[in-house]
Structure 1
Amino acid sequence: MQPLADRLRPKDINDIVGQSHIIGKGKIINKILENNTIPNMILYGPPGTGKTTLANIIANITNKKYIKLNAVNCGVKEIKDAIDSSRQDLFSYNGIVLMLDEIQALNRKQQQSLLEVIEDGSITLIASTADNPYFVVYKAILSRSTIFEFKTIERKDIIKGLNNAVKKLYELYTYENINVEDDALEYIADTCNGDMRSALNKLELVFNLGVDILSNSVNMTLDNAINCSGVKMLNYDRKGDDGYSILSAFHKSLRGSDADAAIHYLARLIKAGDIQAITRRLLCVASEDIGLAVPQAITITEACVSAALQLGLPEGRIPLAQATIYLATCPKSNSVITAIDMALNDLDNIETGDIPIHLKDAHYAGAKKLGRGVEYKYPHNYPYNYVEQQYLPDAIKDKKYYIPNKNKNEIAFETYWNNLKNIKK
């Protein structure tokens, strides 16, 4: 039997739940359909958010021949063959809509070949992908398409969709009563991760478990919802957009000193088992965002990271959480990354000049004849182990790369050196 999610798939734009940023009265998708001017589209977002449903609705409204293919199990030849076999029916249709799921499965050369079938305008491409299209779709296709991002469906919209589905169950079945506990629907909404298809699949399981043949009724209870829900799955692909976004949110929460948010995103990463990405990001934050504000942060973080890698998961979650909370609550400074990036930028963009001759290597015969190191002053031969001399090349001798931030440690070091240099004058 066809899954409930497919049998209840909306056939009207007004029945789609979620995606209120692009679907709804006055929104861009509705306007496109009203004007009947359908561009090539790339629908991008997580599974179960309405991408295929929208493509079906578009094909029906525009009276175009609808071809649906999945790039995972077909190539350009199969796509062209399907289109060629449909062209003979074009006198009955207003063109062809090619719905291509998982477009990222086509390699660059295959995507280039795909251009041929959409160039003349008789084919309207509606491609879908769960990956960021700017990473996986050929630029020439991107330039000929409008990208619409589908977002995970909010809890309230999932519940709305489930209630709509329950009403339609009366049309699909002949049971006298279908009793639904509100807590059951709320539990399904909480555990489907914003995926309407997943929610409907769970609803179908709860429905089947609740069938009582003797009373010719169905009781959809919270207990059944819990029993059939299993483990909540998170959207996470280590090389995909979701993975990078969680890591980005983790890093930015650490930088922003929000320990609660950082722990939340750490939990997502731990659930995904991506311990390597966590440890790399923690070590990076220790230098990039804390740096000299707390110089020992990198040492403490390295110890936590080493412990986590030795323990593995799940025990490794404890030192990872320790490092996360520690880094989030540390004073912040970006003086280290700012200094090195400025220096690297100068190497790429300006003439920095030669190393001062008194700093050049003088540990070989004949070095003094070349003037190498002759005028070098050894700091430890002077009071306070400091003597003023030029270290930067002449072309950039007045450059300032390290600019201390206003935190306890850097203020203390800056004060120390300013006082010492004033004594020397």
Structure 2
Amino acid sequence: MVSLFDSAGFGKDAPRPLADRLRPQKLADVVGQDHLVGADGVITRMLAAGRIPSIILWGPPGTGKTTIARLLAGETGLAFEQISAIFSGVADLKKVFEQARIRREQGRGTLLFVDEIHRFNKSQQDSFLPYVEDGTIILVGATTENPSFELNGALLSRAQVLVLNRLDADALNALIRRAEMFERRPMPADAAAREAMIGMADGDGRYFLNMLEEVFAAVPEGAAPLTPETLARTVQKRMPLYDKAADGHYNLVSALHKSVRGSDPDAALYYLARMLTAGEDPLFIIRRVVRMAIEDVGLADPEAVHQALAAKDTYDFLGSPEGELAIAQAVVYVATAPKSNAVYTAYKAATERAKQTGSLMPPKIILNAPTKLMKQQEYGAGYRYDHDQPDAFSGQNYFPDGLGRETYYAPVERGFEREVRRRLEYWAKLRKERG
């Protein structure tokens, strides 16, 4: 009698997914990571030297982290243990450590592969330290998140971080050739559809192989190859890799900000579109654009911050998707505005000076004297009302008497600050003339 489990294709003899069937059998077969497993790769040199340290593999999904760990164990003769930080707890770790200890007493080492290692908390990460230090295990951790932020410094200091690249077009084309050899026929898609599939994969080899499997299954041998239009009906396009609480979020925010600072509206629009397409909160982006207008444009174009704030009001009024055009307009305006961080730099310098000088009193000439005693102490004595002076400028010193006059703000020769600079130079001339 055939069980429901077997009829659904999940029996022990059920075919494995293409991604599993095409899994490399040796490190040199891993595509897209030549800097690690190529002829002169880091891991290749480690194996040649006969010494494998604990490793953290950091890279996007589907780039070969699990495969490299498994093959590394095979090529070193180490026992391979695999756990996931998502499903494992302290009890699981204790069991793995004890089994590794027993193997070590029997003369065999253990390579412990921990998937999503950044999901372990601090105390769980600390539990690895004694077993890594005494050689009971060689730890290979895999993470999609920046280890600098997600892993303990103590654990990082005992491991070497190796970065895996997202798979480029050459690597994905290599996977196509392997799949064609396995299926014994060309992939049933024209050149444009192939290019579209490579774009849809977003550098994820596992996802790409699953998509290839769908294509081979959907198009019988001898049928017309898929075009971009028929491909779209055959496979589901996924959203770009983007986690609003993780690296993808911060990388794109940084890229957007630096493109605006670098006066490149086209690159800025690209990263803006990437963030919006991935589902980023538009109001978060607007807040960042307001910051750019203040921090990187400043008084070189005071209108920039108005444009950024107007984008917020417009988005609130229109909503999505129409309101997103207002964000794009603000991004382009700020990107093409003259740049100055003079106010930003001046404020930082003044803040540091204020911390150093403590509670110095302002000069008495600019203090009010609402009481008789304060008048006797000459509060306000000698103050000259600027509007009554020539050019509406008295030139008096407003710094504390014990500090002397200092300069923090140095406007640039760009945009509106060019005019501000001329004013300051004129007032400096009058101040000198009037002593």
**What is the TM-score with the length of structure 1 in the denominator?**
0.90
What is the match of residue 226 of structure 2?
Answer: 221
Q: Which of 406, 412, 428 in structure 2 is aligned with 1:399?
A: 406
- Cα deviation per residue 1:315-372 (whole Å; 9 max; x = unaligned)? 2220011011111111111111111111123334566833333334545674334443
Structure 2 vs 1, CA of residues 348 and 69 (structure 1 numbering), >3 Å: closer, same or farther? farther
Matched, 1:319 2:326: yes
Tell me, yes or no, if structure 1 residue 168 matches structure 2 residue 175: no
How many angstroms does 1:423 deviate by?
4.7
How many Å separate the matches in 2 of 1:343 and 1:154?
48
Conserved in 2, the CA contact under 8 Å of 1:250 and 1:265?
yes
- Whether the aligned pair in 1 keeps the contact of 2:176 and 2:187 (CA below 8 Å) is no
Q: Does structure 2 conserve the Cα–Cα contact (< 8 Å) formed by 1:353 and 1:395?
A: yes
Q: Determine the structure 1 residue equivalent to 2:264.
A: 258
Aligned to 1:384: 391
CA-based RMSD of the aligned residues comes to: 2.3
- 1:267 alignment counterpart: 273
Task: Using the TM superposition, name which of 85-94 and 276-285 deviates more.
Answer: 85-94
Q: 1:377 to 1:14 in 2, by over 3 A?
A: same
Question: Which runs of structure 2 are paired with 1:88-127 in the superposition (5 Å)?
Answer: 88-90=102-104, 94-127=108-141
Structure 1 stretch 195-204 or stretch 269-278: which is displaced more? 269-278
Decide whether aligned partners of structure 1 residues 126 and 362 sit closer, same or farther in structure 2, where only a CA change above 3 A counts.
farther
Contact 1:162 1:185 in 2 (8 A): no
Evaluate the alpha carbon distance shift between residue 84 and residue 179 of structure 1 in structure 2; reply closer, same or farther with a 3 A threshold: same
Give 1:345's aligned residue: 352
Residue among 41, 63, 66 paired with 1:49: 63
Aligned runs of 1:8-407 on 2, under 5 Å? 8-90=22-104, 94-170=108-184, 177=185, 180-183=188-191, 184-211=193-220, 221-222=226-227, 225-274=231-280, 275-349=282-356, 353-360=360-367, 362-363=369-370, 366-407=373-414
The 1:180/1:228 distance shift into structure 2, 3 A limit, reads: closer
Q: How many residues align?
A: 415
User: What displacement does 1:190 show?
Assistant: 1.5
Deviation at residue 251 of structure 1 after TM alignment? 0.5
For 1:262 and 1:229, locate their aligned partners in 2 and report how far apart those are by CA, in whole Å.
Answer: 31
Contact 2:56 2:141 in 1 (8 A): yes
CA separation of 1:166 and 1:370: change in aligned 2, threshold 3 A: farther
Q: Counterpart of 2:37 in 1: which secondary structure? A: coil
CA contact (8 A) 2:100 2:109 kept: no
One-letter code aligned to 1:202 = M
Cα distance in structure 2, aligned partners of 1:387 and 1:423: 9
CA–CA separation in structure 1 for the residues paired with 2:240 and 2:410:
42
Identity %: 34
Residue in structure 1 matched with residue 9 of structure 2 by the alignment: none
1:28-74 Cα distance to aligned partner (Å, 9 max, x none): 12111222311111111110111111111111111111110000111
* Uncovered stretches (5+) of structure 2, i.e. residues with no partner: 1-14
SS of 1:326 mapped into structure 2: helix
Q: Distance in 2 between matches of 1:202 and 1:368?
A: 85
Q: Distance in 2 between matches of 1:158 and 1:266?
A: 27
Structure 1 contact 211–218 (Cα < 8 Å) conserved: yes
Paired AA for residue 159 in structure 2:
S
C-alpha displacement of 1:403: 0.3
Structure 1 residue identity aligned to 2:389? Y
- The amino acid that maps onto 1:188 is M
Q: CA, structure 1 residues 279+361, in 2 after alignment: closer, same or farther (shift >3 Å)?
A: farther
CA contact (8 A) 2:86 2:119 kept: yes
Contact 1:48–1:196 (Cα < 8 Å) also in 2: yes
SS of the aligned residue for 1:77 comes to: helix
Q: Which runs of 5+ in 1 are unaligned?
A: 171-176
**Letter paired with 1:18:** G
The 1:387/1:194 distance shift into structure 2, 3 A limit, reads same
DSSP-derived class of the 2:138 partner: strand
